[in-house]
Structure 1
Amino acid sequence: MGAPPVFQRLHIGFDALRKGFLQGCRPIIGFDRCFLKTFLGGHLLSAVGRDGNNQMFPIAWAVVKGENYESWSWFLRLLFDDLGIAQGYGLTLISDQ
């Protein structure tokens, strides 16, 4: 009998948010994370853009077991695939790290 399954990651990115970012937002994406303060723990990773009114526009988010290189690279790979970003020319990325 194998070990029970263990939660690793969950990515959430709605089609309407993807289309809204691509069609109506500035080419700026901000990244951040926060702790999930429950008995389960984990981190919430988020990608946020800026719309035409200079307001925050959520693009996608993920719940991960821990913040590390593997979790961030997984999240960024999925986000860039969803948005069709290959090289990133003309795109500004903002992070506190």
Structure 2
Amino acid sequence: MAHTPHYHPCDMVKDIASDYGVRVPYHQAWCGREVAVRYLHGDVRTSYDMLRWYSERVMEMNPGSIIDMVVDEETHRFKSYFLCFAACAYGYEVGCRPLIFLDGSHITDKMQGVILAASALNGNDELFTIAFAIADSETYENWK
């Protein structure tokens, strides 16, 4: 599982049938894959819960960083998390061209969402990440 992250349950069913001669239902293979992924990478919900701890450590080690976490007050569901390290903001000010590039990438796991990033070009024409956000959806409000 660790070496084959895209190992699908239908492939598991076929492999178990050919290797061991046992017919495993699809839903059982799917559940087994979920257990393996959780064992290898941890529970996704726990990762979101650790954002508060991570934010405290960032502020401890990199004072002046900007962090904003938004949670829906009614449902207590995660909405967005914005992070700009103070060191990255300083790096942009002193070593990058005055042009910011915005890009988004969709998260395709069970929790869904999007990663939004603001980057610039440094003196070597390399991308330099200034800030990023994790959000539940790609909306104008989240980009702002």
Offset at residue 3 of structure 1 (A) = 5.0
Counterpart AA for 2:136: K
Aligned residue for 1:79? none
Per the normalisation by structure 2, the TM-score is: 0.48
Higher relative contact order (CA 8 A, sep 6+): 1
Counterpart AA for 1:61: F
Of 124, 129, 139, the residue aligned with 1:53 is 124
Equivalences for residues 1-97 of structure 1 within 5 A:
4-73=75-144
**Number of residue pairs aligned between Structure 1 and Structure 2:** 72
Offset at residue 4 of structure 1 (A) = 4.3
Ranges in structure 1 where 5+ consecutive residues have no aligned partner: 74-97
Per the normalisation by structure 1, the TM-score is: 0.70
Runs of 4+ off more than 6 Å: none
Offset at residue 10 of structure 1 (A) = 0.2
Offset at residue 69 of structure 1 (A) = 1.6
Offset at residue 61 of structure 1 (A) = 0.3
Whose helix fraction is larger, Structure 1's or Structure 2's?
A: 2
Identity of aligned residues (%): 32
RMSD: 1.4
Residue 54 of structure 1 aligns to a residue whose secondary structure is: coil
Whose strand fraction is larger, Structure 1's or Structure 2's?
A: 1
Find the structure with the greater CA-based Rg.
2
Q: Deviations over 1:20-53 (max 9, x none)?
A: 0001111011001010111100000000010001
